[in-house]
Amino acid sequence: MGIEVEQLGPGFFAELRGVGLKDVAERDDAYALVRAAFEEHSVLLFRDQPVTDELQAAYSKRFGPLETAKAASLGEGTPYSILTNIDRATGGLVPPGHKEELRAKANQLWHTDSCFKIPPALASVLSARIVPPSGGETEFASTRLAWDRLPASLRVKLEHAYAWHDYAHSRGKIAPQLASEREKAAMPPVSWRMRWRNPENGRDALYIASHTFAIDSMTDDAAQALIAELTALATAEGHTYQHRWRAGDVIMWDNRAGLHRGRPWPADKPRHMVRTTITATDADGLAEMWPARAAA
Ligand code: OGA
Ligand code: MN
């Protein structure tokens, strides 16, 4: 199979041409090529895909088991997380202050998906179904490249540090009651090592997000200051890549090695995206993320 890989971002993020979701779903050689590109570039873009929920799931399943959408989110209990401002009941747009609008705001904080879950996510696959005429981009940063930019002394410290992640923490930055009691009960805080090593290529990445609220043996204030500093370093100007969506675009990103955030768009324009999320396994380097848990 001849595929073309064009790197679009600063050291990561590549567009693939000559291969699509259907090829990966159906052919082992296509999967192997795309998997290798994923390990290398961290974020992959496919344009002009004839995307349906079923095709997206068939593609995603190649990479590992699929997550079930979380408690109380649209798509709960299915493999599809739906990010939309279209009200399913009326077909109109949700009013200002609606939960989906607040969720979109929370997604505009730099994060990696599902670090607040056990197990966390290897990758997310997001497809654009309806895009607004302006805004609504998604911006990416590499925490693998950020790791390499850290002072060596900090890398040594973070390698063996454990951080705590909580869905309610990031939601709380937008609105105090955004995470419901049911969501909080379903997703209590969890901790992971702050460095995720990719077993395929040995590359290390910093594992933090807007969900991160504490670090073992630090005060919460000091931990939050450090997380803010590390996020700023990872997402500094010149180190990010912003994707302007077209309907039919599909992007897969490595949640072990990056941060991403949504960008705002005019409230009177519809935007509808569907995400499938692939669960990390020990083959993806998960065992090292919590040795105590792996040994238990
Ligand atoms: C996501 C996400 C941002 C966006 O799907 O995980 O963060 O731009 N999306 O929709
Ligand atoms: Mn996300």
Task: Identify the CATH homologous superfamily for domain 12-294.
Answer: Clavaminate synthase-like (3.60.130.10)
Q: Assess whether pLDDT exceeds 80 at residue 163.
A: yes
What integer pLDDT is reported at residue 73 of this predicted model?
Answer: 77
Task: Round to whole Å and give the CA distance between 111 and 187.
Answer: 17
Which has more pLDDT, 195 or 76?
195
pLDDT at 296 over 60: no
The pocket around ligand 1, CB under 6 angstroms, is made up of 83, 107, 113, 124, 126, 138, 260, 262, 273, 275
The residue whose CA is least distant from atom 10 of ligand 1 is 262
Q: How many C-beta atoms surround the C-beta of residue 46 within 10 A?
A: 23
Which of ligand 1's atoms lies nearest the C-alpha of 81?
5
User: Among 247, 153, 258, which Cα is nearest to 203's?
Assistant: 258
Which backbone phi and psi does 243 adopt, to 5 degrees? -100, 125
pTM of the model: 0.97
Domain boundaries, the chain: 12-294
- Measured from the alpha carbon of residue 104, the closest ligand is 1
- C-alpha 131/C-alpha 125 separation (Å) is 16
Which ligand number lies closest to the CA of residue 276? 1
CA of 153 to the centre of ligand 2 (A): 30
pLDDT of residue 291: 64
Residue whose CA is closest, atom 4 of ligand 1? Answer: 262
Q: Is the pLDDT of residue 295 over 50?
A: no
| Confidence band for 292, pLDDT divided at 50, 70 and 90 | low
pLDDT tens profile 231-262? 999 999 999 999 999 999 999 999 999 999 99
Assess whether pLDDT exceeds 80 at residue 71: no
How far is Cα 122 from Cα 285, in angstroms, rounded to an integer? 9
Q: What is the mean pLDDT of residues 95-105?
A: 93
Q: What's the 37 CA to ligand 1 centre distance in angstroms?
A: 21
> In the beta sheet, which residues pair with residue 127?
250, 274
> CA 22, CA 192: separation in Å to the nearest integer?
34
Please, which residues have CB within 8 angstroms of residue 8's CB and are 6 or more apart in sequence?
A: 14, 15, 45, 241
Separation between Cα atoms, residue 256 and residue 144, nearest integer Å: 9
Strands 43-46 and 14-17: parallel
pLDDT confidence tier of residue 133, bands split at 50, 70 and 90? very high
Compute the CA torsion angle 69, 72, 77, 83 (nearest 10 deg): -40
Closest-CA residue, ligand 1 atom 9, reads 262
pLDDT digits (tens, 9 = 90+) for 167-214: 999 999 999 889 999 999 999 999 999 999 999 999 999 999 999 999
Among 170, 261, 265, 276, the mutation site with the greatest number of ligand 1 atoms within 8 A of its Cβ is 261
Contact 127, 274 (CB under 8 A): yes
Q: Which of 55, 29, 43 is nearest to 248 (CA)?
A: 55
For the chain, give the mean pLDDT.
Answer: 95
Instruction: Taking residues 48-65, report their average pLDDT.
Output: 98
Tally of residues, the chain: 296
**From CA 42, how far away is CA 28, in angstroms rounded?**
20
Q: How far, in Å, is the centroid of ligand 2 from the Cα of 71?
A: 16
